């Protein structure tokens, strides 16, 4: 029921690839931890008012050291460490089978493929089942490339080329959009992502190159 409420074609909570799935998992774990910590603080605050006797024997040092140091530090060390490891795993490092050039401008995207196949304005074609690097830049102002169901976002900045790695489990249609405010057409800067079975993708590239 809750998960059904979270589904949607731009929903980061409805991942369609391993990279977006690990980000969604990180979210659900952090949500659980945050709910527990929130409950703890509110219960302590409630007890302070409703049952003042219960907490009166805790010394000032115990409040400060216990609540301020012992409670948060291990959680933060563990979480920051885990996020660092996850972030390293998600980096576009090593050989990616395919590198696609993405260029943003006010207010549209265009994508170029190795060997000069394309660009197909507005639609990003990629093979499913394998990681793909998108090298993103901008021709004018700053935009941001975001396909929530396949991975996180990366900014498209004039004068810079930033690379993000995406992966789709299954062939299908996904949606992306500009996440950085870029002027009057910012609302409408969506783009289609078509993930194809690898042989279909190869055929598409071969056809486009001719």
Partner 1 sequence: MSSVNHTVLGKRFMVVALTFFAIGGFLSMLIRAQLATPNSAFIGPEIYNQIFTMHGTVMMFLFAIPMFEGFVIYMLPKMLGARDMAFPRLTAYGFWCYLFGGSILIIALLVGAAPDSGWFMYTPLSSRPYTPGINADVWLLGLTFVEISAVTAAIEIFISILKMRAPGMSLARMPLIGWYMLVTSGMMIVGFPPLILGAILLELERAFDLPFFDPTRGGDPLLWQHLFWLFGHPEVYIIFLPAAGALSTIIPVFAQRTILGYRSIIAAIVAMGFLSFGLWVHHMFTVGIPHLALAFFSAASALVAVPTAIQIFAWIGTLASGRPRWDIPMLYVAGFFCVFVIGGLTGVMLAMVPFNTQAHDSYFVVAHLHYVLVGGFVFPMLAGIYHWMPHISGRQSLYRLSVPAFWLIFIGFNLTFFLMHLTGLMGMPRRISTYPSNWGWDWLNLLSSIGGFILTMGFCLVLADLVLQWRFGRRYRRDPWKAQTLEWATATPPAPYNFAALPRVDRRADMLEPAKIGPVLAGARAISASCAMASRKRWASTCSPASRST
Interacting positions 30-49 with partner 1 (CB under 8 A): 30, 34, 37-38, 41-42, 44-45, 47-49
The three-class DSSP label of residue 193 is: strand
Give the dihedral of Cα atoms 199, 91, 189, 179; nearest 10 deg: 160
Closest CA relative to residue 110, chosen from 122, 99, 101, 100: 122
User: Binding string to partner 1 for residues 88 to 117, with x set by CB under 8 A, is what?
Assistant: x-xx--------------x-----------
Site membership for partner 1, residue 122 (CB under 8 A): no
Residue of 18, 21, 86, 169 that binds partner 1 (CB under 8 A): 86
Site membership for partner 1, residue 28 (CB under 8 A): no
Of 21 and 208, which has the nearer Cβ to partner 1? 21
Of 133 and 155, which has the nearer Cβ to partner 1? 155
Residue of 102, 118, 119, 151 that binds partner 1 (CB under 8 A): 151
Site membership for partner 1, residue 6 (CB under 8 A): yes
Of 157 and 208, which has the nearer Cβ to partner 1? 157
Site membership for partner 1, residue 68 (CB under 8 A): yes
Site membership for partner 1, residue 22 (CB under 8 A): yes
| Percent helix / strand / coil, the chain, rounded to 5 | 45, 25, 30
Residue of 94, 95, 116, 187 that binds partner 1 (CB under 8 A): 187
Token pair recorded at residue 41? 């603080």
**Span of 114-122, 126-134, 159-167, 202-210 interacting with partner 1 by CB under 8 A:** 159-167
Q: Are 172 and 150 in contact (CB under 8 A)?
A: no
Residue of 133, 167, 180, 194 that binds partner 1 (CB under 8 A): 180
Closest CA relative to residue 182, chosen from 163, 160, 155: 155
The least CB distance from residue 132 to partner 1, in Å, is 16
Residue of 3, 120, 128, 154 that binds partner 1 (CB under 8 A): 154
Q: In what order do the strands lie in the sheet with 108-112?
A: 120-121, 108-112, 99-105, 132-138, 162-166
- How many angstroms separate the Cα of 162 from the Cα of each of 13, 78, 138? 24, 29, 10
- How many angstroms separate the Cα of 88 from the Cα of each of 24, 83, 93, 153, 161? 16, 9, 9, 15, 19
Site membership for partner 1, residue 13 (CB under 8 A): yes
């Amino acid at each position: 029921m809750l998960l059904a409420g979270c589904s949607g074609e731009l929903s980061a909570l409805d991942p369609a690839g391993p990279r977006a799935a690990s980000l969604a998992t990180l979210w659900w774990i952090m949500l659980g931890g945050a709910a527990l910590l929130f409950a703890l603080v509110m219960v302590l605050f409630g007890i302070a008012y409703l049952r003042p006797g219960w907490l009166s024997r805790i010394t000032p040092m115990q409040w400060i050291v216990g609540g301020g140091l012992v409670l948060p530090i291990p959680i933060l060390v563990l979480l920051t460490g885990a996020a660092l490891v996850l972030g390293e795993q998600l980096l576009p490092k090593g050989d990616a089978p395919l590198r696609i050039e993405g260029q943003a401008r006010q207010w549209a995207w265009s994508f170029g493929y190795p060997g000069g196949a394309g660009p197909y304005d507005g639609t990003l074609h990629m093979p499913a089942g394998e990681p793909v690097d998108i090298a993103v830049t901008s021709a004018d102002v700053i935009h941001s490339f975001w396909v929530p169901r396949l991975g996180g976002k990366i900014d498209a900045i004039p004068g810079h080329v930033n690379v993000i790695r995406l992966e789709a489990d299954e062939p299908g249609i996904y949606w992306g959009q500009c996440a950085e405010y870029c002027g009057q057409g910012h609302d409408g800067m969506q783009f289609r992502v078509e993930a194809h079975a690898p042989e279909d993708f190869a055929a598409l590239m071969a056809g486009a190159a001719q």
